[in-house]
Structure 1
Amino acid sequence: MNCKIFVASIIVLVAFLAISEGLGVDDRCRCIKTESRRMGKLIEKIELFPPSSHCKDSEIIATLKETRQEICLDPAAPWVKKIIERIIANKPT
């Protein structure tokens, strides 16, 4: 009988972990380090992530054209600020 309870407990634990992983629960920022060097011509796409309950910082993630690598941009860098201003200005209301 104890073996059945143990096996059932393991199954419940694994199911809980699978469900929580599947929901995309992420309790930390995506950007650990940021890049401040100019690289505008290398960028294909930029995504802006405002502060949230998971991360207190705004995050700017750029996808590079050739490698499809995602890099985090420094929101304090002057060239990044200009890009953000353009994105916000062109955003439909």
Structure 2
Amino acid sequence: MNCKFFVVTIIVFVAILAVGEGLGVDQRCRCIETEKRRMGKLIEKVEIFPPNSHCKDTEVIATLKETNQEICLDPAAPWVMKVIEKILAIKSP
């Protein structure tokens, strides 16, 4: 239970920090469907977009290595939560 609360807290914290980056984006959610399958080795970059006035959901968008295709990841999927935790661990001093 504490682990889930910690992950949700981290996601909310990242969402608050990223609010400034949300300016100038589309006026709707980017993710209509999300991917739950594991694909960590295929991912080159992950971006987290917090909820805002145009989209109530936190969106996690990954760019694939070989194709540069962007796909939406399910932020509630356990493996995606681990990816987010690793990103935050690297960014924190």
In structure 2, the residue matched to 1:44 is: 44
Asked whether 1:53 is paired with 2:53, we answer yes
Cα distance in structure 1, aligned partners of 2:91 and 2:52 = 20
Cα deviation digits, residues 27-71 of structure 1 (max 9, x gap): 210000000000000001000111111111100000000110000
Which protein has greater RCO, CA pairs closer than 8 Å, 6+ apart? 2
RMSD across aligned positions (CA): 1.7
Which ranges in structure 2 are unaligned for 5 or more consecutive residues?
1-23
* Identical residues among aligned pairs (%): 77
In structure 2, the residue matched to 1:74 is: 74
Decide which structure has the larger Cα Rg and report it.
1
In the TM superposition, what is the alpha-carbon distance from 1:89 to its structure 2 partner? 2.0
The code of the aligned residue for 1:76 comes to: A
Which ranges in structure 1 are unaligned for 5 or more consecutive residues?
1-23
**Aligned 1:1-20 pairs, distance under 5 A:** none
When residues 52 and 62 of structure 1 are mapped into structure 2, their CA distance, relative to the original with a 3 A threshold, is same
- Structure 1 moving runs of 4+ over 3 Å: none
What is the aligned residue count?
71
TM-score by length of 1: 0.69
The code of the aligned residue for 1:51 comes to: P
The code of the aligned residue for 1:81 comes to: M
